[in-house]
Amino acid sequence: EAKQFVWNPHYFIDLRLIDWKKILMGASGCTIKTSYLTPVKDQLSCGSCWAFSAAATWEHTYKKIFSSAINHNLSEEDMVNCGKTCAGDDAGSCSGGHTFKAFDYIKCFKVATEANYPYTATNAACMAKPKTYGAYWHGQVGTNVSFPTTDQVKAAITLYGAVTSYVFARGWSSYGTGVLNAIPNAAVTSYTYTGSDGRTYACGANYINHAVTIVGWCDAKNAWIIKNSWGTDWGSYGGYAYVAYNTYNIAKYVYYVVPRP
């Protein structure tokens, strides 16, 4: 009320009628509200997954809270070129960034629409475009020193509609169908990569290199349903995929956002 936040009337529920255990544990089969889904996008050769994950999470949550039939598409290019935290720290670029910093940018400065600031997949100078959408607040599920539990992440999805998550997306480019489940959480001990300085680095057990949006779960498959930003031709589900619980370091860092109407 202090922030003049108004919930959509259809979102109100009688708390006495809720089977909390069922909500937290998830119903049998797959739990996903497809009406909240917005179009899958393609980040192309720019390392802007952080901006796409943040945008998709905001868009999904907006549709859940306000029951909007319109796809309010945010501009990832705005975040890449102009994104900064409330304190003025850079949110990221085509070389990577952070979803929580993107949410900070949306909260303190608002963000342009995709129509007003189209995606070019480049690090360009920030352009003065109308800032249309904002956020009341954002936060993290669990803590940054341990993985939140599966139930905690499910509860956040139930409340907000979607959450961002960092992952270790090794081998994902060749994904076809089924459940991604090859690498258990905290088991990335033999992977190396070449840094921008040309040096080779060994990854720790909780290494992450990509950001996705978790939009639902499927207990029948013991997996999260994730929305990626590699286009609709990635995999056999139009840009979505199943990622097994507790694999690929998924849910190491999980963030939610509450949009402004």
Residues involved in catalysis? 49, 210, 228
Q: How many degrees, rounded to 5, is the angle at CA 236 between CA 175 and CA 52? A: 75
Q: How many degrees, rounded to 5, is the angle at CA 9 between CA 6 and CA 14? A: 110
CA-closest candidate to residue 60, choices 166, 250, 167, 216: 216
H or E segment and range at residue 64 = helix 49-66
Cα distances from 133 to residues 8, 72, 75, 126, 168, in angstroms, run 17, 9, 10, 17, 30
By the 10 Å C-beta count (0-12 exposed, 13-18 middle, 19+ buried), 130 is classed as exposed
How far is the first Cα of the chain from the last one, in angstroms, to the nearest whole number?
A: 14
